[in-house]
Amino acid sequence: MAKSTEKYELLYIIDVDKTEEETAAIVERFKSLIEANGEIVEMEEWGKRKLAYLINDKPEGYYVLVKFTCGPEFPAELDRILHITDGVVRSLITVEGA
């Protein structure tokens, strides 16, 4: 029986105090993790943007948007890893088209 896949969208914000190398390493870590568990449809690094409100007393964050497909069990694990990763200040995973 084939595994069912859903389309998801992940938006996460990296702390702007991270160096370019640290930011690139975080982006690459999540890109590799998603590719190992699904397929990336589209990925955009929006870069530094003003936040809607201060997070950890900072007015800016480094935004990354990833659209991907995977099985229904992976997003919970991805969310868990995002929450324990140093440098990721906010993240949101949504089901596309829901």
Domain boundaries, the chain: 6-95
R_g of the chain computed on alpha carbons: 14
CATH architecture of the domain covering 6-95: 2-Layer Sandwich (3.30)
The reply to whether the predicted model has a pTM over 0.75 is: yes
CA-wise closest residue to 48 among 66, 60, 57, 65: 60
Chain segment 19-44, per-residue pLDDT in tens: 999 999 999 999 999 999 999 999 99
Neighbours of 35 (CB within 10 A): 12
Split at pLDDT 50, 70, 90, the class of 5 is confident
* CA gap 12, 3 in Å, rounded: 27
pLDDT (0 to 100) of residue 2: 45
For residue 3, pLDDT beyond 90: no
Return the structure tokens found at 37.
């568990």
